[in-house]
């Protein structure tokens, strides 16, 4: 199915609703926080954290002590559960206070990447291999769950780059992709995590990055290298694609007061000077008004 522009007759009905020119090197992990009525995201490599109030578009930027791969919301608007590159911590981004919870033993050359709070309020985050030689393997990554007791459970291993982490509306199915393979997989999710099926497989240069699930159970996936957001049914059927004006979209969220605004982060990391000259918006965040509804982001109960 070729990518195309959405029009008002589309069942998903998307139309541009704004753009924030932040030029992130690696914008990631965007979520909607209903407490502050803001979109939150991180620029991993620049160690920056952003809060954008919606719909006023008031933007705040905060410095981080470490690279932040992903984060989960808590009951306090300024406190996040952070998956910093080396482990889990409670971090107040306004006061700049950090309390480490757990630092799993990771191989050299491996850091935390994508993460999300599951439907039971537990934070799940996975790692990625930045240096295969130092790590000893290109698949030395793993997926971890921080239990409400504070214990850490390893759910998956043998991963190159953890991405596309999200859950079905009832929380019984987990979606996860290893971006080095390009496969989006579904898992039966509970006490353990058991492989269910492969939903889709992307082909180079496109690969699945950050994802979210809407109220109807559709999976929205930012396709790194593919200049689009793909929308899948729960059975893996490709329903539609949204072209975006950058090659490297990184993550998606459905937010706004009605949970009907699609937000898409992006990155300019790795683009050469020729590509950057053509993609002046690389690293910006894009917003689209939709005819669908997302789900409230779950909050950490640990």
Task: Find the length of the chain.
Answer: 302
Q: How far apart are the first and last CA of the chain?
A: 42
What is this structure's pTM?
Answer: 0.95
Q: Name 273's Cβ contacts closer than 8 Å, sequence gap at least 6.
A: none
CB atoms within 10 A of CB 149: 9
Q: What is the percent of the chain with per-residue pLDDT over 70, rounded to a whole number?
A: 96
Separation between Cα atoms, residue 29 and residue 51, nearest integer Å: 12
What helix, strand, coil percent values describe the chain, rounded to 5? 5, 50, 45
Average per-residue pLDDT for the chain: 95
CATH class, domain 15-289, is mainly beta
pLDDT of residue 191: 87
pLDDT-derived band at 11, boundaries 50, 70, 90: low
Joined together, the tokens standing for residue 21 give: 């020119």
> Can you give the residue ranges of every domain in the chain?
15-289
Q: What are phi and psi of 282, to 5 degrees?
A: -60, 130
Q: What is the percent of the chain with per-residue pLDDT over 90, rounded to a whole number?
A: 91
Candidate from 120-129, 153-162, 235-244 with smallest mean pLDDT: 235-244
Whether the pLDDT of residue 5 is over 80: the answer is no
pLDDT-derived band at 98, boundaries 50, 70, 90: very high
Cis peptide before 158 (omega within 30 of 0): no
pLDDT-derived band at 10, boundaries 50, 70, 90: low
């Amino acid at each position: 199915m070729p990518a195309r522009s959405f029009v008002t007759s589309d069942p998903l009905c998307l139309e541009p609703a704004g753009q924030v020119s932040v030029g992130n090197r690696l914008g990631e992990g965007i979520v909607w926080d209903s407490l502050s009525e803001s979109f939150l995201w991180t620029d991993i490599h620049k160690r920056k954290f952003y809060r954008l109030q919606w719909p006023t578009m008031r933007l705040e930027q905060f410095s981080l002590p470490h690279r932040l791969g992903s984060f989960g919301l808590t009951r306090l608007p300024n406190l996040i559960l952070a998956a910093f590159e080396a482990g889990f911590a409670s971090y107040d981004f306004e006061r700049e206070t950090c309390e480490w919870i757990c630092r799993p033993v990771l191989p050299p050359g491996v850091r935390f990447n994508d993460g999300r709070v599951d439907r039971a309020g537990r934070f799940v985050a996975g790692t990625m291999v930045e240096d295969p030689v130092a790590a000893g393997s290109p698949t030395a990554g793993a997926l971890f769950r921080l239990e409400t007791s504070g214990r850490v459970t390893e759910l998956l291993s043998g991963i190159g780059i953890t991405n596309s982490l999200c859950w079905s509306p009832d929380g019984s199915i987990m979606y996860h992709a290893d971006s080095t393979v390009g496969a989006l997989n579904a898992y039966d999710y509970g006490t353990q995590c058991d492989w269910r099926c492969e939903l889709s497989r992307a082909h180079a240069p496109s690969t699945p990055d950050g994802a979210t699930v809407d109220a109807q159970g559709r999976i929205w996936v930012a396709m790194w290298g593919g200049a689009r957001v793909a929308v899948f049914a729960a059975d893996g059927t490709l329903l539609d694609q949204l072209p975006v004006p950058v090659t490297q979209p990184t993550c998606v969220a459905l937010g706004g007061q009605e949970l009907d605004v699609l937000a898409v982060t992006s990155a300019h990391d790795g683009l050469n000077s020729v590509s950057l000259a053509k993609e002046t918006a690389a690293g910006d965040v894009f917003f689209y008004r939709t005819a669908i509804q997302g789900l409230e982001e779950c909050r950490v109960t640990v």
